[in-house]
C-alpha cells in the first residue's frame, strides 16, 4: 500500500525529480553552474518558455497543435518596439487585443471550419511571419527602460518579478485546468470530442477559448522577451515553438490529448532553460543546442507513446 502511494508520487512528480537530479549533476560537473547568478538567469530564460508552454499545454490537452505560438511572440516584440513610445499601457493593450484576435481566428478556423489545427496554425504562422517582417524588417526599436526594469526586477541576485511571473503562470495554469469549468471541458474535449459533445460540452467554444489562451500567453511571452532583449525582432520567437512542444511533452502531457497538465510543463521549461546553460558552460557552441533540442523533442514524444502503449496493453 505504501509502496503504491510512493509509486504514484514518483509518477506524478517524476519531472521534478529529473529537474533536481539535473541541477545536482550540473552543479557537480561545472563550477560556473554553482552560482546564484546562473540560477537567476535560468529562471529568467524559463519565463518565456513557461508562458508559451502554458498556451501549448491547453491546446495539446484539447487535441490540437498550435504552430503559431513562436510567431505570435515575435509579433508581440515587433509591435512593442514600434508602439511603446506611445506609452506602455496602450502598447500592451494593443498587443493583447491583437493576440486575442489571432486566437479567435485560429479557434474559429479549427472549430467552425473544421480545419485541421495543424494546417490552420501553420498558415497563420507564415501569415504573421510576413506581417512581423513588414512591421520590423530588422531588429531594433524602442523599449522603455522602466518597462525593462519592472519586468526584470531583481532583489540582490534573486530575480523577483520573473519568479513571480512563473508562479503566477503556474497558479493560473493549474487552477484553470483542475478547478475551473473551462479546464474540465478541455480535458473532456481532448479525451473524446464526441462524448464531450454528447455530455453537453460546447466543443467549438472550448476550442476557441483554448486558442485564445494560447495566443495571449504567447504574446505575454513576447512582451517578456522584448523586455529582455530591449528591442523588437521578427525572428526571436521562432525557437520557442520547439521549446513549447518539448516542454509540454516532457511534462507528461500526452501527444494524443486529454491527459497531462501544466504542472509538468513548467518544470520542463526550467529543465530546457537549464540545458541551454549547462551546454554553454561546457563550452558547446550554440548550434549544437538545436540538435540537442530536436533530439529531445523527438525522443520525448517517442518515449512517451512507447510507455503509454506498454501501459495500455
Partner 1 sequence: MNRIGRFQLIDVQPLILVLALVVIMAIAGFLTPGFLTFRHFKMVLYCNTMLGILALAQTVVILSGGIDLSIGSTYWITVMVGALLMVKGEFLVPAIVCILVGGLIGLVNGLGISRLKIPHVVMTLAMMIILTGTLYVTTGGGGRGRAAPELIRLSTGRVSGFPIITLVWLLLTVLFYIILRMTAFGWKVRALGSNLSACYCSGIRIWRVQVLVYMMSGTLAALAGLLYLGWARTPYPTFQSGAGVGANIMLQSIAAVIIGGTLFSGGRGGVGRTFLGVLVLAVLFSILSMAGLGVEWQIMLNGIIILAIVGVHSRVGLQ
Whole-number Å distance between alpha carbons of 139 and 126: 18
DSSP letter at 232 equals B
Minimal distance, residue 291 CB to partner 1, in Å: 4
Q: Which stretch binds partner 1 (CB under 8 A): 85-93, 131-139, 180-188, 190-198?
A: 131-139
Whole-Å CA distances, 166 to 50, 73, 256: 7, 17, 26
Strands (E), the chain: none
Please, which residue, 40 or 304, has the CB nearer to partner 1? 304
Check residue 78 for interaction with partner 1 (CB under 8 A): no
Q: How far is the CB of 163 from partner 1 (least distance, A)?
A: 29
Whether 268 contacts 17, CB under 8 Å: no
Task: Write each residue from 2 to 41 as x if it is in contact with partner 1 (CB under 8 A), else as -, in one continuous string.
Answer: ----------------------------------------
Instruction: Please work out, in degrees rounded to the nearest 5, the angle formed at the alpha carbon of residue 96 by the alpha carbons of 273 and 80.
Output: 70
Sole window of 142-150, 209-217, 223-231, 294-302 interacting with partner 1 (rule: CB under 8 A) = 294-302
If the CB atoms of residues 183 and 251 are measured against partner 1, the closer one turns out to be 251
Copy the grid coordinates of residue 257. 490529448
Q: Please say which residue, 224 or 249, places its beta carbon nearer to partner 1.
A: 249
Q: Which of 181, 195, 173, 208 is nearest to 66 (CA)?
A: 208
For residue 87, which phi and psi values (nearest 5 degrees)? 125, 150
Nearer CB in complex with partner 1: 39/65: 65
Q: Are 61 and 176 within 8 A, CB to CB? A: no
Q: How many residues bind partner 1 (CB under 8 A)?
A: 49
Is 63 or 263 the residue whose CB approaches partner 1 more closely? 63
Question: Pattern 214-253, binding to partner 1, x per CB under 8 A?
Answer: ---------------------x--x--xx--x---x----
Give whichever of 92 and 243 is closer to partner 1, judged by the CB atom: 243
Q: Which of 71, 30, 55 is nearest to 275 (CA)?
A: 30
In the list 5, 114, 310, 312, the residue contacting partner 1 (rule: CB under 8 A) is 114
- Alpha-carbon torsion, ordered 15, 20, 25, 26, to 10 deg: 100
The one among 13, 14, 32, 127 contacting partner 1 by CB under 8 A: 127
Nearer to partner 1 (CB atom), residue 109 or residue 183 = 109
Report the chain's terminal Cα–Cα distance, integer Å: 24
How many Cβ atoms from other residues are within 10 Å of residue 199's Cβ?
A: 10
Taking each helix axis from N to C terminus, what angle separates 88-111 and 69-83, rounded to the nearest 10 degrees?
Answer: 150
Q: Which residues bind partner 1 (CB under 8 A)?
A: 65, 67, 70-71, 109, 113-116, 118-120, 122-131, 133-134, 137, 235, 238, 241-242, 245, 249, 255, 285, 287-295, 297-298, 301-302, 305-306, 309
Amino acid at each position: 500500500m505504501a509502496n503504491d502511494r510512493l509509486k504514484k508520487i514518483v509518477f506524478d512528480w517524476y519531472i521534478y525529480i529529473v529537474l533536481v537530479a539535473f541541477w545536482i549533476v550540473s552543479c557537480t560537473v561545472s563550477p560556473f553552474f554553482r552560482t546564484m547568478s546562473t540560477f537567476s538567469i535560468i529562471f529568467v530564460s524559463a519565463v518565456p518558455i513557461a508562458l508559451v508552454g502554458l498556451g501549448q499545454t491547453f491546446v495539446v490537452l484539447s487535441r490540437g497543435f498550435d504552430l503559431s505560438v513562436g510567431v505570435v511572440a515575435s509579433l508581440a516584440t515587433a509591435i512593442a518596439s514600434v508602439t511603446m513610445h506611445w506609452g506602455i499601457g496602450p502598447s500592451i493593450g494593443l498587443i493583447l487585443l491583437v493576440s486575442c484576435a489571432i486566437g479567435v481566428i485560429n479557434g474559429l478556423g479549427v472549430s467552425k471550419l473544421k480545419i485541421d489545427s495543424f494546417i490552420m496554425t501553420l498558415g497563420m504562422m507564415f501569415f504573421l511571419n510576413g506581417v512581423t517582417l513588414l512591421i520590423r524588417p530588422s531588429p531594433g526599436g524602442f523599449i522603455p527602460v522602466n518597462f525593462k526594469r519592472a519586468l526584470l526586477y531583481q532583489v540582490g541576485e534573486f530575480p523577483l518579478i520573473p519568479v513571480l511571473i512563473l508562479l503566477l503562470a503556474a497558479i493560473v495554469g493549474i487552477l484553470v485546468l483542475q478547478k475551473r469549468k473551462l479546464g474540465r471541458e478541455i480535458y473532456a474535449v481532448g479525451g473524446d470530442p464526441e462524448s464531450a459533445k454528447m455530455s453537453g460540452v460546447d466543443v467549438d467554444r472550448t476550442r476557441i477559448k483554448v486558442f485564445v489562451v494560447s495566443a495571449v500567453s504567447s504574446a505575454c511571452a513576447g512582451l517578456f522577451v522584448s523586455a529582455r532583449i530591449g528591442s523588437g525582432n521578427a525572428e526571436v520567437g521562432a525557437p520557442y515553438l520547439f521549446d513549447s512542444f518539448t516542454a509540454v511533452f516532457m511534462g507528461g502531457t500526452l501527444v494524443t490529448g486529454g491527459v497531462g497538465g501544466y504542472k509538468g510543463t513548467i518544470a520542463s521549461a526550467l529543465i530546457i532553460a537549464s540545458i541551454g546553460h549547462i551546454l554553454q558552460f561546457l563550452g558547446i557552441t550554440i548550434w549544437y543546442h538545436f540538435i540537442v533540442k530536436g533530439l529531445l523533442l523527438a525522443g520525448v514524444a517517442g518515449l512517451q507513446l512507447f510507455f503509454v502503449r506498454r501501459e495500455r496493453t
